[in-house]
Structure 1
Amino acid sequence: MKKNIYDILILIFACFLVAFGTYFFLAPCNIAAGGISGAAIIVNSIFPSIPIGLFMMFVEIFLFIIGIIIIGPVFGGKTIFCSFSISGMILVMQKVYPVVKPFSKDTLMQLIFGILICGAGMGIVFNKNASTGGTDIIGKIINKYTKISIGKCVLIPDIIVVTAASIVFGIDKGMYSILGILLNATIIDRVILTLNTYKHVAIISSNGTDIKNYIVDVLDRSATIYYAKGAYKNNDNEVITTVLNRKEFLKLKEYIVKVDDRAFITVNEVNEVLGEGFSSIL
């Protein structure tokens, strides 16, 4: 229950990032950097009476049904929550700030900051096995069957939106949009990679029993033990190895300092861990 609440709060935060970046940075400059939000900006520029958030809601209803059928109800449920959250947040922003001017006269700066904010939010959402709706669902479906990175998969349908942006807003805006989707794909993959980076830790300590118990009982992680002979003193050593996330590693390091400040520790970063307690191997 506690984990579910935490996941919901994380998704709400990620949705806010996407909504904020879209409405305050991309939309004022007519930068349609892919996705349904980009399509909504195009439609809104042609038909100002159609709100960006409302257009996004209607299109997302259609696409999330496809997502539920192909990817599954868990993904579909999370996607519904995220897509309507983003649309709703943008509608609220439109009510509170109906006229939004660009923060900067430099369109490139608006693009960079908008994509940085949106891409970070989208990366967090994808990492929680959800999507922000719209064309991201198409990207997720492509990812499921091809195993291409999610950032590159999102790039595929975005090309269509960018092409439309070039026609509606002109080649200059189109070029900004192309830069935007390339940057967005890179940021999504980078955020997911960062969130899934773990520490592979090997420990040699005279107080190995306490350290093992701390890993298993307090951190709720498993460990592997093997024995090695030291070349300097020719003595037998117990080597404890485990895989932890960043937060768990910091806790372990603090504990080791307390029980054995002469312990020998080696740490390597791993970008993917599959199996029990981590990502599914399927």
Structure 2
Amino acid sequence: MKTSLWFKQIQTIVPILVGTAIYAFGLLYFIIPNHLMEGGVTGITVLLNYAFEISPSISTLVLNIPLFLVGFKILGARQSIYTGIGIAALTLFLWLFETLIDRGWIIPFQTEHDYILASLYAGVTLGAGLGIVFRFGGTTGGSDIIARILNRKFGFSMGQIILTLDVIIIGLSLIYIELEQILYTLVAVFIAARVIDFIQEGAYAAKAFTIISDHAPEIADRITVEMERGVTLIPAIGVYSKRAKHMAYCVVSRHEIRRLTGIAKSVDPRAFIIINDVNDVHGEGFREE
């Protein structure tokens, strides 16, 4: 039992370490060499590097320690443990990549003309790193801790808090960075947000069918036999007709959409079909845990 628990913990911690490593690499390889920016507390570390040449690994640790302690007291140990791991891992990997860059073992990507390429790659690497960390329940500290505390205490939306902090920090960066670099930063932030969503929601896209019909059981039987997909029948009552009926609910892959629609319409041409996007599916016939 203990072995199984430890194995599950390792399955969570290792991806968080991988994610923070990717994030730290993107920050030092693409963001800082091209004088781009980043939001949140990480943005403050970037500004301190630009203004005073303070090591990002040092400023990340110094800024996050008090935030972590406050968060630990207010949010509790359970919500803080993976945050602490994320902060420690980010600090470690920032220091490691700084050392490799200083020794010339890694040459950062620096450009004077094609900043769009730098911002695109920065967005992909930062988004991939954070997406992996978030998907496994971790954070890199900073704004996320502030957002959780304000959300717990005052009920503010975490998204709104993080966005407000990002706007303030990126706005302050105009003191040290040209407006052109800020605009390229917005490209990187947009790409990072899309990559984070892609990783968190899952790369596998499917479709969920809700079929409302007087012949729903027959439709369900044909889907089960002909497509070998599981179907759930949900009892329902039509408000207008006051008649009892069933809804058939089924999730299929994208290439099966036309086939399932054809089965439903062949049984009941008047069937009411609702199709929704499904970004992640776990279970038999799809991705197994």
TM-score range, shorter chain: 0.5 to 0.7
Q: Which shows bigger deviation, 15-24 or 153-162?
A: 153-162
Cα distance in 1 for residues equivalent to 2:226 and 2:192: 47
Partner residue, 1:84: 88
Q: Which structure is larger by alpha-carbon Rg, 1 or 2?
A: 2
**Residue in structure 1 matching 2:26, options 17, 21, 29:** 21
Question: Aligned pair in 2 of structure 1 residues 113, 154: CA closer, same or farther (>3 Å)?
Answer: farther
1:219-255 CA-partner distances (Å, limit 9, x unpaired): xxxx85679xxxxxxxxxxx996779x9xxxxxx9xx
> What displacement does 1:205 show?
3.4
Question: TM-score normalised to the size of structure 1?
Answer: 0.66
Q: 1:54 is aligned with what amino acid? A: I
> Residues 169-207 of structure 1: CA distance to partner in whole angstroms, max 9, x if unpaired?
232323333443344344434433337977758774359
Task: Name the CA distance, whole Å, in 2 between partners of 1:183 and 1:207.
Answer: 41
CA distance in 1, matches of 2:207, 2:151: 26
Residue in structure 2 matched with residue 45 of structure 1 by the alignment: 50
The 8 Å contact of residues 37 and 46 in structure 2, kept in 1 or not, is answered as yes
What is the deviation of 1:60? 0.8
Q: Percent identity?
A: 23
**5 Å matches for 1:23-172?**
23-48=28-53, 50-98=54-102, 100-105=107-112, 106-141=114-149, 145-147=155-157, 150=159, 153-172=161-180
Which amino acid is 2:43 matched to? G
Counterpart CA distance in 1 for 2:144 and 2:169 is 12
1:209-248 to 2 correspondences below 5 Å: 224=232
Alignment pair present for 1:205 and 2:224: yes
Given the superposition, is the C-alpha separation of residues 198 and 142 from structure 1 closer, same or farther in structure 2, using an over 3 Å criterion? Answer: farther
Q: Which moved more, 1:103-112 or 1:190-199?
A: 190-199
Q: Which residue of 2 aligns with 1:173?
A: 181
Counterpart amino acid of residue 224 in structure 2:
S
Aligned residue pairs, count: 236
**What is the alpha-carbon distance in structure 2 between the residues aligned to residue 69 and residue 89 of structure 1?**
26
Q: Which stretch of the first structure deviates more once superposed, 82-91 or 2-11?
A: 2-11
Kept in 2: contact 1:139–1:155 (CA 8 A): no
Amino acid at match of 2:20: C
Q: Aligned letter for 2:9?
A: N
Give the partner amino acid of 2:124: L
Contact 2:123 2:187 in 1 (8 A): no
Whole-angstrom CA distance in 2 between matches of 1:189 and 1:142: 23
Q: Aligned partners of 1:62, 1:195: CA distance in 2, in Å?
A: 36
Q: Secondary structure at the match of 2:50?
A: helix
- One-letter identity of the residue aligned with 1:111: S
